Amino acid sequence: MKSTRQPNDMNYFFWYFPAQEKPEKSPVVVWLNGGPGATDILGIFAENGPCKIDKDLKQVPNPNSWNKKYNMLYVDQPMHVGYSYDQPTRGFFHPENGTFQALGPNDKPPPFKEEFIGTFSSQDPQSTANTTLNAARHFWNLMQVLTRDFLKDQPSDGTLSIWAESFGGHYSPVFARFTQDQNIRIAKGKLNDSITLDLSTVGIMNGCVDTETEILSRPEFAFDTNTYGIQHISKEERDAARELFSKPGGCRDMLRQCNRLGASKDVAFVGRNDEVNKACSEAERFCSEKVDGAYFKQPTKRSTFDITQCVFSTDVPNENFRRYLNSQKVIDALQLPVNLTEFSRTCFEEFEKTGDGVRRHMPAIASLLDLGIPIAMVYGDRDWICNWRGQVSKAIKHTQADRFFNHSGYTDIEDDGKVVGQVRQQGLLSFTRLFQASHFASASQPESSFTVFDRAMQNKDIATGKIDVDAGFATEGSVDSTVASERPALLAPVCSLLSIGETCAKNQIEAVVNGTAAIKDGIVTSPQLPPGICPTS
């Protein structure tokens, strides 16, 4: 591969869905789920892909699929994620901690359910990326091959848009910035036999972008700045988080030390400098434990992805695709040598070791705006972990930053006669708050998510979709979005065997492991959740 080192074989899985209408006039839109380590299969079947899977495991068209109007490309990355693999390896992911254990021909299989055993990517740490920029290097090389060998034969308008979710707040701007840097090198004759990838809109869906800017918004949101009237932590816990962030030697100082060291000793974000990795991983761990910690210590467990729901309720409202993909019929049809790795803990841990999650990537957003590339930031307002109160859009230091902060305000977003959110937009930058949407906005509010996506892709005003946006455009309204919302109905928690780490409590996982759990149709029916663990309102 160019611009990076990779010792092992790499087999990337992608799924391409041409636009249903006029694909030749549509860009190619890359969708990336986050993690790091989450599969794009989630995006296809539970969020914005062309079909859902019903309870009978039948395909049902998604009326809000993003490929209604756009050529959609879903890519499982980094390596080991989803169906992407290096060396097919028989083994299992342990239900208690998600770690992978290979099984040799003479190894005794574990005592728990056979659904956990299969053939997967090896999970060799050497095969995957350990920083966002290394992942960008892999992505660019993949796009070179895909463009040369596949996309050139698919009708499109020749441009590439990148949209990403969650940790995608790192992925999409950094991947786009790296792609643009490679374009410049190609233009200067410094990269032979390479293809220019013409960038268009870059999108961030409920993205965690910059820890120093965002992290205090989480205890604030859990205390009283969410718009659903939920107080999940106490004032004392909120105040303690503030102190642990700002005190000398605290979270903020550790984050700044990490990034000072990175700026001098790991400028290329390759993740091989031990001093930088130590400082950044320790900062990430301290900030997570001390500033975020109170959220997880409450007796009532709320979801990190939807503050209105129990942590064991399904954050993505369609679990059927997991059973669908696990059926032998579908496995045979896909003709793949590996089973699905829905979340690669190996990938996640490699990023943790370098502390990449707290390295500063926000300058990539500023530089893209200054290069004339539109940026759309879209946030569901029920998300806690990457919440809309993070202030990132106000902290981007691009040349029009003063105009965005001083000359634009929040205005209503209208969709089919309904107000579905509010937006602050100036020139090439828009920041959207979607009402009643979770971390997975295009799953929980598919219609309004598509509307915002479509308007952003057409470079229209997000509020109405009727105005062509130029550098002088700015929304008018209040400096803050203060609309309060009613809490949605509570979803009943369901302990699903195929998403055991997300939907099952410790006692249920232990019962599955030791063989005492009662399981019917992939659902753990006994034991039940401990009393009081889920909210009642």
Unique residue bearing structure tokens 């996309």? 151
Give CA–CA dist 382/440, Å, rounded.
Answer: 10
Catalytic residue among 26, 166, 444, 481: 166
Single-letter code of the amino acid located at 472: G
Judge whether 315 counts as a catalytic residue: no
Q: How far apart are CA 487 and CA 126, in angstroms?
A: 45
Residue 474 near residue 408 (C-beta atoms within 8 A): yes
Burial of 349 (0-12, 13-18, 19+ CB in 10 A): middle
Is residue 383 annotated as part of the catalytic site, yes or no? yes
Q: Pairing state of beta strands 117-120 and 89-93?
A: antiparallel
Q: What is the 3-state secondary structure (H, E, C) of 262-291?
A: HHHHCCCCCCCCHHHHHHHHHHHHHHHHHC
Query: Which residue of the set 86, 292, 381, 383 is catalytic?
Result: 383
Q: At what angle do helices 168-187 and 132-149 cross, to 10 degrees?
A: 60
Give the Å distances, CA to CA, from 399 to 170, 366, 370, 473: 21, 8, 7, 15
- DSSP of 435-467: TT--SSHHHHSHHHHHHHHHHHHTTB-TTTS-S
Residue type, 301: K
Reading the block at residue 462, the tokens are 């997000």
How far apart, in whole angstroms, are the C-alpha atoms of residue 315 and residue 70?
Answer: 26
Cite the active site residues. 166, 383
